[in-house]
Structure 1
């Protein structure tokens, strides 16, 4: 009746695999070895990422920060970690003190600043605090 060669069992297995971790907190290391698209996909599936930063945050986050922001996710640098949340999950930082720590939002170009506003830095984001 049809010339389609569609194996729904295979498709269903791939969907189950893709969405199996939806809504989880994923711990990882941001060191440039993971494909940035993998981080974006994980956030798109509804996961929150807590990534230990090993290297320059601006350089490491730049390849995926804009994509996460465009899907209405959030990114925040907190004590050596990058926290990335999916759309609909806010990062509430009201309880953090203003002690001058490294608790920064990451701009969509990968740069970060204390209040999440664009500081006018160049695309390298060299102005971010990297304690």
Structure 2
């Protein structure tokens, strides 16, 4: 028998806590009051975020958008919401093409102001410059 004093119940509890929300859809408000690292951590755990935008999207998303993109997650602005998906979960916008107008905008860079405009790319792949990402 080993002299190790390893409490697996405690380790199991910590793992359950860390991964309890994995794969969930998390609804929230993007208003600058939540630490950006909390959004990144939630996406890293495998959650999809649907965030109601309360303020300037460019300013509110900038602190975490690059981190999400670097981990191969996706961000898209859709009708007043920011949808953020973890790696391996893609956002299918094929059914939006019949809706007319610019119903959605993908955030292609981590810095919403990076490409000289909003940093967003519309469904046709053209950069938009409407002040929103």
Q: Which runs of structure 2 are paired with 1:38-117 in the superposition (5 Å)?
A: 38-97=38-97, 99-106=100-107, 107-110=109-112, 111-115=119-123
Q: Secondary structure at the match of 2:87?
A: coil
Residue 118 to residue 108, structure 1, CA distance change in 2 (3 Å): farther
* Count of matched residue positions in the alignment of Structure 1 and Structure 2: 124
The TM-score with structure 1 as length reference comes to: 0.80
1:30–1:53 CA contact under 8 A, matched in 2:
yes
How far apart in 1 are the matches of 2:105 and 2:123?
7
Aligned to 1:35: 35
Gaps spanning 5+ residues in structure 1: where? 122-126
Following superposition, the deviation at residue 18 of structure 1 comes to 1.2
Following superposition, the deviation at residue 67 of structure 1 comes to 0.5
How far apart in 1 are the matches of 2:23 and 2:14?
18
Aligned to 2:16: 16
- Tell me how large the CA RMSD over aligned residues is: 2.7
Following superposition, the deviation at residue 14 of structure 1 comes to 2.1
Aligned to 1:124: none
Q: Secondary structure at the match of 1:91?
A: coil
Q: Secondary structure at the match of 1:95?
A: helix
Aligned to 1:25: 25
2:22–2:47 CA contact under 8 A, matched in 1:
yes
Following superposition, the deviation at residue 87 of structure 1 comes to 0.4
How far apart in 1 are the matches of 2:110 and 2:88?
17
1:58–1:112 CA contact under 8 A, matched in 2:
no
